[in-house]
Amino acid sequence: MSGIFTIALDAMGGDHGAHVVVPAAVQALEAYPDIHLILVGDKARIGEELAACGKAPSDRLRLHHAGQVVGMDEPPSQALRNKKDSSMRVAINLVKHQQADACVSAGNTGALMATARYVLKTLPGIDRPAIITAIPSIKGHTHMLDLGANVDCTATHLYQFAVMGSELASAVDNIASPRVGLLNIGEEEIKGNDQVKEAARMLEASHLNYIGFVEGNDIYCGDVDVVVCDGFVGNVALKTSEGVARMVSHYMRNEFAGSLYSKLAALVAMPVLKSFRKRIDPRAYNGASLLGLQGVVIKSHGGADAVAFENAIRIARLEAQKRVPQRIDKRLEELLKEANQQ
């Protein structure tokens, strides 16, 4: 591949489909000279959006037809059975057949996970893939998994998440030994449920840089690189954070819109407020990885705009470049060898 990364994009997925994915692709090609993109979906539809951007297909921007689309509310099993020619599935197929190094979809999470798992398979030693994303923190960002793929997790699942999350953080952030924390409701040993307590024992005995239990507020403090939890808890934490951020913005807008003085103050404070908003812009964090598969699959938020989708492409490129699945695979092999020697 000589330093060129090819990324397949599900051009029909998400709330806005090609209308968002095509402009995002055009922007990404400009931003990253070392990527090639394949737009997968209805050729006519994609062609229209390309024309609207004043662009045409090229060596770096190819079109690949797919005749079906997975609905945003379509049950995963149905998508798996009936949508073999969907833009989502065909994009994943391109990864499987090594015609792409990664794929990105804004389509429905359940269908994407089920299809990716079916087509690409999990890595040997991984029972269940997990969803991981970077979350802004006071000092940078924190990787958190699982975010909703697995509602009930055993201690072994949590342990596997920790191994995968640690490898990903190490690869994409260039950290030798990422700090791994287990999300719990108290720092004392006595608290928490049975799975978490057992997972803590496994992590203490592992090669990982396990720093112990962390609480919800620690996700944002910047003193932990990888936060591990089950998918129910992780999803609630992520959505709750979105809710708080939205409420804070709402209050702030209201306050600055109040009196004439407030409105004038808003004008004066505008550059500062803009810079602040940029710092917490969720679009800069769009793009979650389906981790534990034999290939890079990135999930973009369904409602993502072109800026946000471009960020998901950036993450796909980074994970392909850093060979994240191969690194996890290698680490799992080492762990298996160690276990067999004991």
Binding site for a second copy (CB under 8 A): 73, 75, 136-138, 148, 151-152, 183, 185-186, 188, 190-194, 215-221, 229, 231-233, 235-248, 250-252, 255-256, 258, 261-262, 264-266, 268-269, 271-273, 275-276, 279-280
Residue 342 CB, nearest approach to a second copy (Å): 32
Name which of 202 and 252 has its Cβ closer to a second copy: 252
Residues in the chain: 342
Residue 317 CB, nearest approach to a second copy (Å): 27
Residue 183 CB, nearest approach to a second copy (Å): 6
Element (H, E) at 142: strand 140-145
For residues 144 and 234, is the Cβ–Cβ distance under 8 A?
Answer: yes
C-alpha–C-alpha distance, residues 192 and 185, integer Å: 6
Identify the CA nearest to 296 among candidates 304, 288, 307, 308.
288
Residue 147 CB, nearest approach to a second copy (Å): 9
Name which of 191 and 330 has its Cβ closer to a second copy: 191
Name which of 142 and 311 has its Cβ closer to a second copy: 142
Q: Which residues, in sequence order, are CB contacts of 72 under 8 Å at separation 6+?
A: 14, 15, 107, 108, 302
Name which of 173 and 281 has its Cβ closer to a second copy: 281
Torsions phi, psi for 7 (to 5 deg):
-120, 125
Q: In what order do the strands lie in the sheet with 35-41?
A: 61-65, 35-41, 5-10, 102-105, 296-299, 288-291, 130-137, 140-145, 226-228, 179-183, 209-214
Q: Buried (b) or exposed (e) across 296-311, using 16+ Cβ within 10 A?
A: bbbbbbeebbbebbbb
For residues 115 and 34, is the Cβ–Cβ distance under 8 A?
Answer: no
Residue 131 CB, nearest approach to a second copy (Å): 11
Residue in the structure block whose two tokens are 């800026």: 307
Name which of 27 and 154 has its Cβ closer to a second copy: 154
ω before 146 within 30° of 0 (cis)? Answer: yes
Residue 261 CB, nearest approach to a second copy (Å): 7
Residue 43 CB, nearest approach to a second copy (Å): 32
Identify the CA nearest to 312 among candidates 8, 3, 1.
8
Name which of 48 and 223 has its Cβ closer to a second copy: 223
Name which of 125 and 222 has its Cβ closer to a second copy: 222
